[in-house]
Amino acid sequence: MTEKKKDKILIIDDDVETREMYSEVFTSANYEVIEASDGVEGLDNATKELPDIIFTGIIMPRMDGFTMIEALRKNTPTAKIPVVINSHLAREEDQRRAQDLNVDDFIVRDLTPPREVVERISAILTGGYYYLDFDTNTKEAQRLMSDLRISSFFACENEQKMKLKMKLVNTKEQKFEAEIICPEETNGPTDTSME
């Protein structure tokens, strides 16, 4: 019987203790771990190793996390590698920039326990999304659309039914992030958190 291939995660952070801590966390969760101490080394490792996911800090010497992500996105072999930012700050401008760069998740280090970090990484790697039919003719759907201020006249092209795209972000607290989308769209008309 062949052993399942371990997912490979690249941890990029200039703080040695942070790298070591997350290296232990991910190794114990059965990931193959590669490390880098700044964006330049991270970009080099990402290009050579092609990890399954990248877990990076923002503020680092030589090349910061955002500049590295921009370079990753411009390089065809690394453009689609999921990226998770691990920041000790919860600055809105950093979160907006991460969103602009299509970062897969933004983790605030001191507010996110290691177990939840592993859950969120795992959800990204497994696709972690659930798609439910969203029937606008039901009372619950109409109430949700009203609460979210979505026009009752909103409709998908080609008369397709809307979907509720859900992603489990915390199994213990059973929290989901969700958005209402049209099947052909990557971004829906609105986002909301659901518990």
Average confidence (pLDDT) over 171-177? 68
CA 44 centroid distance within chain: 22
Strand order through the sheet with 162-170: 129-134, 162-170, 175-181, 190-194
Q: What single-letter DSSP state applies at residue 181?
A: E
Is the model more confident about 185 or about 23? Answer: 23
* CA 129 – CA 120 distance, rounded (Å): 11
Residue closest to 97 by CA, chosen among 62, 137, 69 = 69
Which among 52, 20, 58, 15 has a CA at the least distance from the CA of 39?
58
Q: Where does the chain hold its CATH 3.40.50.2300 domain(s)? A: 8-125
pTM > 0.85: yes or no: no
pLDDT at 194 over 50: no
| pLDDT tens, residue by residue, 95-137 | 889 989 989 899 998 888 898 899 889 888 877 666 777 788 8
Query: Taking the CA of residue 85 as centre, how many other CA atoms within 13 Å lie in the half-sphere pointing to its CB?
Result: 26
pLDDT > 90 in the chain, percent: 43
User: Average pLDDT of 5-32?
Assistant: 94
- Model pLDDT, residue 193: 40
Please give the pLDDT value at position 3: 61
**Around Cβ 48, how many Cβ atoms within 10 Å?**
10
User: In this predicted model, what pLDDT tens digit does every residue of 23-65 receive, in sequence order?
Assistant: 999 999 999 999 999 999 999 999 999 999 999 999 999 999 9
Fold of 8-125: Rossmann fold (3.40.50)
Whose structure tokens read 């996105």? Answer: 73
